[in-house]
Structure 1
Amino acid sequence: MAFLQWRRFNFFDKEVVKDSETNQTYDKLKEIHITCSSSGRGQIVLGDVEGNVFFLNRQLVITSFRAYKLSVSHVEQMRQNPILVTVGADEPGINPLLKVWNLDKIDGSGNPYCTRIVRVVVGLSPSPVTALAVHENSSLMTVGLDDGNILLFRGDITRDRHSKYKVLHVGGTSVTGLGFRTAGRQSFLFVVTTDEVFSVSLSVKDKENVVLLDSHGCPAHCSVLSDAKQDNQFVIGRQDAVYFYQPDGRGPCLAFEGEKLILHWFRGYLVVVGKDNKSNPRPGGMMAFMCITCHTGLLNSDKVF
């Protein structure tokens, strides 16, 4: 990979999304207090503070159902199958529940069929869920907690008796990001906390090998897994740069200053949302969107403010 090469231009074309029925500015998400999001199977999935899960299709039609009595904190939609995994709360206090839904089956009330419910509690001290990742083969799932613990599920994640979990403790600070990588028969789990980055070998059951990759972590929402064309690398955004990781160590970095708020991978693009303080003298800086194109092993940056 080459180091970052700057090319500054007007990013992609921008246009205001309009409602196809009224031809007015689309505002059907305006009153929804969104807490989390995911995408897959041609739709965007959103969770909100009232326990609802919303589906937004390509025609911008919204459907929803009540997944929790209180709130939804995490959603993960599979790309190739109808499985949706959510984390939320049905009662006050730190008592997170993980639920697995089959979107192709409907229960008696007309909602997606819930195939599994797991109370995410380690020992006697409940801790908030801070990260969630599900493998596309639906045989691996992991939940990261604020106390540094990880719940690793193996087997058919849609069924209790076919999928058991074990607790892994890889660091002493909050888990901020997770990602699975499979190459041939080798499977790894990337874990990032606020202070460190790890890889966990999953190839041999009950013999998970934890390797420390870096003694610097990242905040929540600032890590993402690249696509297969970029070798499913784990990408992390920090104040000074964007870093790429393989299971055995850190790879190249793209050095540019600025607070990183969100990292997202879309096809051949790494999208970085952050604050560019240098280009804006106003307090708090200015929101910047950076799109790093990743083709033929080279990384070029296209930036807009």
Structure 2
Amino acid sequence: MSIAQWRQFNFFDKQQVVDPTDKSKSPAVFQKSDISVLTSGRGQIALADSKGQVYISDRNFKTHSFVAYDGGRVTHLKQLKQKNILVTVGEEDNGTPVVKFWDLDSVDRSKLNESQPYTPTCIRTIKIQHGTKPYPVSIYHCCAG
């Protein structure tokens, strides 16, 4: 093999992603125009929008959603690697930043209804403020360990 000859390596197979229910379209979660943040881990993708809604999509693009922030928006997401915990940072109605930890293996039975059949359990909520003023969150880092 000479130096001028190049080798091509195919690391990924290219294929069109389709919706599980309608094979002629892309998955419905990716058709939303207001997705603001996403993360991945543990075989799933977590996406969030500017209306406080979080979408959890598995490898087959079967998607569950839940409201993480009523009247607010989600600004940051992180899926932990060791445990099935999703960390969200968002704003509530009054603009106060709040960090929430969601156990994706545990369903909150008090919030089960037909419109929202899947709501994970919120295991911790932390308000971010300095004194009495809300403190904006521009970046965060979450270590599981």
Fold in common (TM above 0.5): yes
Mapping of 1:124-163 within 5 angstroms? 124-137=132-145
Query: For 1:20 and 1:109, how far apart are their aligned partners in 2?
Result: 26
Q: How much does 1:35 deviate?
A: 1.1
Classify 1:80/1:31 alpha carbon distance in 2 versus 1 (closer, same or farther; 3 Å).
same
Aligned length: 130
Which protein is richer in strand relative to its size? 1
Q: How much does 1:46 deviate?
A: 0.8
Greater gyration radius: 1
Mapping of 1:47-196 within 5 angstroms? 47-69=48-70, 70-93=72-95, 95-107=96-108, 108-110=110-112, 111-137=119-145
Q: How much does 1:126 deviate?
A: 2.9
Query: For 1:78 and 1:13, how far apart are their aligned partners in 2?
Result: 27
Q: Is the 8 A contact 2:27 2:61 kept in 1?
A: no
Query: For 2:63 and 2:18, how far apart are their aligned partners in 1?
Result: 14
Query: For 1:97 and 1:55, how far apart are their aligned partners in 2?
Result: 20
Query: For 2:105 and 2:24, how far apart are their aligned partners in 1?
Result: 33
- CA deviations 1:59-106 (Å, max 9, x no partner) are 11110100101111111111221211111112133x101111112222
Long gaps (5+) in structure 2: 1-6, 113-118
Question: Matched residue of 1:50: which SS?
Answer: coil
Query: For 1:78 and 1:10, how far apart are their aligned partners in 2?
Result: 30
Query: For 1:126 and 1:92, how far apart are their aligned partners in 2?
Result: 9
Q: How much does 1:21 deviate?
A: 3.4
Q: Is the 8 A contact 1:76 1:132 kept in 2?
A: no
Q: How much does 1:32 deviate?
A: 4.7
Classify 1:27/1:59 alpha carbon distance in 2 versus 1 (closer, same or farther; 3 Å).
closer
Query: For 1:131 and 1:64, how far apart are their aligned partners in 2?
Result: 24
- TM-score, scaled relative to structure 2: 0.77
Q: Is the 8 A contact 2:44 2:59 kept in 1?
A: yes
Query: For 2:61 and 2:79, how far apart are their aligned partners in 1?
Result: 18
Larger RCO: 1 or 2 (CA < 8 Å, sep 6+) = 2
Q: How much does 1:128 deviate?
A: 1.6
Query: For 1:106 and 1:12, how far apart are their aligned partners in 2?
Result: 35
Query: CA-atom RMSD, angstroms?
Result: 2.4
Classify 1:120/1:89 alpha carbon distance in 2 versus 1 (closer, same or farther; 3 Å).
same
Q: How much does 1:9 deviate?
A: 9.1
